[in-house]
Each structure stands twice: as structure tokens, then as C-alpha cells.
A and B are shown apart, each in its own frame.
Chain A
Amino acid sequence: MSTTTSADSNRGPVVTDLTTKSPYERRTHSRGNFELWSWLFMRASGVLLLVLVFGHLFVNLMTGDGIKGVDFAFVAGKWSSPFWQFWDLLMLWLAELHGVNGVRTIINDYTERDSTRLVLKTLLFLSALLVMVLGTLVIFTFDPCIDPNSTLQQCTGR
């Protein structure tokens, strides 16, 4: 083991001293299959998202009036059906978790210090929680007639 220090930061972790632990020594040995499941989840959710996202795009843009038909009433109409509620919920959760897991690996790959990792991952998970809770809430508590003067078909019929 060398006792030299290299100031070149591009050269990987610096071995500073014989007495200090080598930065290459694996800090922890992980138990369990978390990384295995996360790897599998990325593949499975990726395939599923292809179907969900392109199905979503097709229904919104290719059928009916296309892009011109997408407005508040269109979304209200879609979410009155449990099928589209479930579709959008699944899409939201899978896309969010897929993205979060991807960014988590990027953080693992590019940050150099554990403290930086902790801060970035905390921010990441908090933002994901916010998006998923808010999104789920909107999908299930969505009220098309929230405006009392609404002229929507579903509301005027009451």
C-alpha cells in the first residue's frame, strides 16, 4: 500500500496513510435482495409504462377530437370512470417510482460523500412522496362540479 498522496482528484479516492482505512475497502456488506428487486422493478415497470403511457397518449390525442378535445371537461369525463382512475393511478405511481429509482442510482453513482448522498436522497424521497400523495388525492377526490357556476354536462344535469 502506498503512503503517497495524489492531488489529482480525477484519480479516484486518495490513499492517504497506512493507518487510515483504504477508501476502497467496502464499507458495508448488504444483506437481502433490495438491489435485486430494484433492478427487476426497473425492467418490469419500464415495460408496463410503455403500454400505459402510449395507451394514454393514444386515447387522449388520437381518438375523438384529438388535442383540441383535451380540456377540463375531458379530464372530468375520464375520471368519472374507475377504469381510467386506476389507469392514471398506476401510471402515476409507476412513473414516479421508476424515475425515483433511476435518480437514486444516479445519486449513488455520482456523489462522492455519504453526507451528500443522504441529503440528496432525502430531498428525492420527500419530493416523490409529495407527488404521489398529491396525485393520488387528486385522482380520487376530484370533483368536476367544484365551481358552482359550472356549465359542465355532469353538473348541470343535477
Chain B
Amino acid sequence: MSVDAPSKKPIAEAVEVPTFQITLRIERYNPEFDTESHYEDYEVTVHGTDRVLDALHTIKWDMDGSLSFRRSCAHGVCGSDAMRINGKNRLACKTLVKDVNPDKPITIEPIKGLPVEKDLIVDMEPFFDSYREIMPFLVTTGHEPTHERIQSQADKDRFDDTTKCILCAACTSSCPVFWNDGQYFGPAAIVNAHRFIFDSRDEAGDQRLQILNDKEGVWRCRTVFNCTEACPRGIEVTKAIAEVKRAIITRRV
């Protein structure tokens, strides 16, 4: 951009961010009264720069306080507000309303495959159970070093991609194999196993590979790529799963 471009356009002429009307079609379920979930429409006025989360806040704070959803940091780091927006798993706090076709009603549903507790809140325990099973912590033997465990940049790069996971469950709940019976470990657990299996400082890689060699482990992955598409952090999930598969084959066969 040229330097003198702004001088031609005085700041006073800066265009106001437009405001527009949208309809949010939210899947509601209240365990105290409902036997089945249903959809409710909400007309909301949003700013051009608003995110879906801001629209949900408007509903919860000004229109219908009974609407329930999770969110903590609201800036795409805590991983609390994964939901299905127009049929795709996304973080409500990272999705701009203007990007999800605001001309039509925007459907918002809880993530699939996990039991719904209320509205957009699902029971995340089964998800975290799988996560715990792959031992998501550093395992070492021998003396504890007196300084940091030094690692080369190349060694760090080996698993750098999978350290970005925020455990939002967008990937696991986008996986059709997980939807069926919930027995599959799911992409998130495999991604977090990958993070330690390929960490040069860790010594329990073989143990984790053995855990994922289960019939509900990596072999249930059908390389559908839904997880890679759903990941709000841009992790190459399917690639990570393929690397774990290859590691199991080369280390165990």
C-alpha cells in the first residue's frame, strides 16, 4: 500500500462498520422439560465485525437467558466453544458472522457424537477419557536433569504441529467413525499421543503406540479428512494419524 494513500482519504470519511440483521437457528434441548431437541430462531442485530459468539452473547444477555453454551477465553485458545455452525464444526469465537452466509438463517447445533446435556453443552467426559488413556504427559527415566531438557530445533519441529491442540473436540466430533458408537479413540487423542510419541525427550512412545494399536485405535481411521477440515488450529490431523500408523508398522512389524 502506498504511504500517501490515507492522506487522500481523511479519517472523518472512514466508513462505519455496517450493522445487519441475522437469524440464528439454534438447536435447543432442556433435559428438564424436553424429550427431544428442537430448533428456535432468534433475530439478532450484529455488527459487521461480530463473531458468532457475540451473537450468542446478545441472545443470552438480552433476549433469552436460558440459552446455554460453553465459553471461557472467547479468543480461540481455551477450546470451550466448539459447535456446529451451518453444519461445520467451528469455534464460535473464531467465526465471523459475515463469513457464514448471514443472508440465510445460521444454524447452530451442539457438536455431534457426544451426549447433549443442555442446548449447546455436551458431556465431554468420554472425549477426555480417551485423552487420558494415551498418557498425555512426559515420561522419562533416569536422573532428573538439573537444567532444562534441551532439544534441537529439528527435534522440536518433528511434533510442533500437534502441540497446537486445544482439546476443543471439533475434530473427534466431526469423525463419522466416532459418531457411530463412540468406541474409537478419536483424532484428538491420537494427535496428543503424536505430540509425545515424536518428542525426542519422551520415553514412552512404544507404550503409546501399543495403546493406539488397539482395534479401536488408529486402524479405525478411514482418512475421511473431516478432522483436518474441522481443526480450528489448522493442525494436519489426518497426517498426524498416518504418521502414528506408520510408526506402529515400522516399530512393531
Q: A residues touching B (Cβ–Cβ < 8 Å)?
A: 1-2, 4-8, 10-15, 22-30, 33-36, 38-40, 105, 108-110, 112
Q: Which of B114-163 contact A (CB under 8 A)?
A: 114-117, 123, 125-126, 129
| Inter-chain contact B115/A2, CB cutoff 8 Å | yes
Residues of A within 8 A of B36 (CB): 7-8
Q: List 13 A-B contacts (CB under 8 A).
A: A1-B123, A6-B116, A12-B113, A12-B114, A12-B115, A12-B179, A15-B115, A22-B126, A24-B125, A35-B214, A35-B217, A109-B176, A109-B222
Asked, given contacts A7-B35, A10-B112, A12-B114, whether A30 binds B29 with beta carbons under 8 Å apart, the answer is: no
B9 interface residue (CB < 8 Å to A): no
Total A-B residue pairs with C-beta atoms closer than 8 Å?
A: 92
Interface centre among A6, A27, A112 (most CB of B within 10 A): A6
Across the interface, which residues of A come within 8 angstroms of B220, CB to CB?
35, 108-109
Given A26-B183, A30-B214, do A40 and B115 touch, yes or no (CB 8 Å)? no
- A35: which B residues are within 8 A, CB to CB? 213-215, 217, 219-220
Is the beta-carbon distance between B215 and A13 smaller than 8 angstroms? no
Q: Is B252 an interface residue (CB 8 A)?
A: yes
Residues of chain B lying within 8 A (CB to CB) of residue A29: 214
Contacts of A105 on B, CB cut-off 8 Å?
Answer: 222
16 other contacts beyond A11-B110, A22-B125, with CB at 8 A cut-off?
A: A1-B123, A4-B115, A6-B115, A8-B29, A11-B37, A11-B112, A12-B112, A13-B115, A26-B216, A27-B183, A33-B252, A35-B217, A35-B219, A40-B249, A109-B220, A112-B180
CA–CA, A112 to B183, complex, Å?
A: 11
Provided the pairs A29-B214, A35-B213 are in contact, do residues A11 and B182 lie with their beta carbons within 8 angstroms? no
In the complex, which residues of chain B have a beta carbon less than 8 angstroms from the beta carbon of A2?
Answer: 31, 115, 117, 123
Interface size class of B (residues with CB under 8 A): 35 or more
A-B pairs, 5 with minimum CB distance: A24-B126, A4-B31, A35-B219, A30-B215, A24-B182
CB distance from A29 to the nearest CB of B (A): 6
Q: Is the CB of B253 within 8 A of A36?
A: yes
Interchain CA distance A139-B152 in the complex, whole Å: 60
B245 at the interface (CB under 8 A from A): yes
